[in-house]
Amino acid sequence: MRIREVFHETPEDSVNENSQGSRPSEPKEASSTEKPPLYDSRRPHCQRDNITQKPDSREIDMPSIPKTHQIKVFSVSDRNLFYCYEAQKWTACLTLETCDLSRLMKEGFYWDKSSIEPESGFFLLDQEDLPENESQWGWKCARVYQCSKMREGIIQWKGQLRILAQELKTLAEFNLDILTADAIHCMKVRDSEERIVYRYCRPKPEESCNAYYDHMPMEGYWPWPKKDEIL
């Protein structure tokens, strides 16, 4: 269901009404014959219940719904050669989804090998089995882990860790203990509309930013900011 169909107005009508200082019309009740949107059953429960269409920026009173965020963390074997993938022995990409970002920022985001779900990992042995954005950088194989974190009986976050390498031996002997916060080279958090709300990049620390809590120190797996970095 599109927002414009709910309001029954054209873009020109909207501009005219707002230019006269009047509030936008309230949304009308949706038809009972309309089919509900399809949800991806593989995503966290709070995301499946989320509204799928983008909210109208003119709307004043929006319903209170869980916000899903994507956390993406990159680590590499040699941080001095981050932009030279051909010289890297391996790279790790941790991609998570959470509906509890505020708590993760305020109380700490903790990840380690205990977050790996038992008997959920597998190997991709052929380069042709890798997504294009991985194979185009020359990676030839991957090791994949499923991971999640429970808190108070609720999934706090859930996602996937992918280790990419040139040789299978590197993946078979990979030690997850080396993926500490100090090993993070780049980290980004996006909201449900793909907008950046947090960014950290080791080569450009001056461009680190947090749209929600500015320079508030954050604990655990957050690489920035730390208490000793705040003046």
142 within some domain: yes
| pLDDT score recorded for residue 32 | 46
| Residues 44, 87 within the same domain | no
| pLDDT score recorded for residue 57 | 40
88 within some domain: yes
Residue 37 belongs to domain spanning: 3-48
Mean pLDDT (whole number) for 132-159: 93
Q: pTM score, two decimals? A: 0.70
Q: Which two tokens stand for residue 67?
A: 């916000």
| Residues 32, 108 within the same domain | no
Whether the CB-CB separation of 55 and 166 falls below 8 Å is answered with no
| Residues 33, 121 within the same domain | no
| pLDDT score recorded for residue 224 | 95
126 within some domain: yes
Better-predicted residue by pLDDT, 226 or 187 = 187
| pLDDT score recorded for residue 230 | 61
| Residues 43, 157 within the same domain | no
64 within some domain: no
Is the backbone peptide bond immediately before 131 cis, with ω within 30 degrees of 0? no
Distance CA 212, CA 196 (A): 11
Q: What is the pLDDT of residues 29-43, one digit of tens each?
A: 544 455 444 434 445
| Residues 197, 127 within the same domain | yes
Least confident residue range of 32-36, 116-120, 150-154, 159-163? 32-36
| Residues 77, 188 within the same domain | yes
Q: What is the pLDDT of residues 25-82, one digit of tens each?
A: 554 554 445 544 443 444 554 544 444 454 444 444 444 456 799 999 999 998 777 6
Long-range contacts from 200-203, C-beta under 8 angstroms, 24+ separation: 200/224, 202/79, 202/82, 203/82
| Residues 90, 43 within the same domain | no
Distance CA 96, CA 73 (A): 9
Mean pLDDT (whole number) for 189-218: 96
58 within some domain: no
| Residues 31, 91 within the same domain | no
DSSP 158-179: EEEEEEEESSHHHHHT--GGG-
| pLDDT score recorded for residue 23 | 47
Distance CA 202, CA 212 (A): 20
Q: How many domains does the chain have?
A: 2
C-alpha atoms less than 13 angstroms from C-alpha of 12 in its C-beta half-sphere: 0
216 within some domain: yes
| Residues 154, 194 within the same domain | yes
| Residues 113, 175 within the same domain | yes
221 within some domain: yes
The span from the first CA to the last CA of the chain, in angstroms, equals 49
Task: Specify burial of residue 218 (Cβ count, 10 A radius: 0-12, 13-18, 19+).
Answer: buried
| pLDDT score recorded for residue 35 | 47
Whether the CB-CB separation of 69 and 192 falls below 8 Å is answered with yes
57 within some domain: no
Residue 197 scores a pLDDT above 70: yes
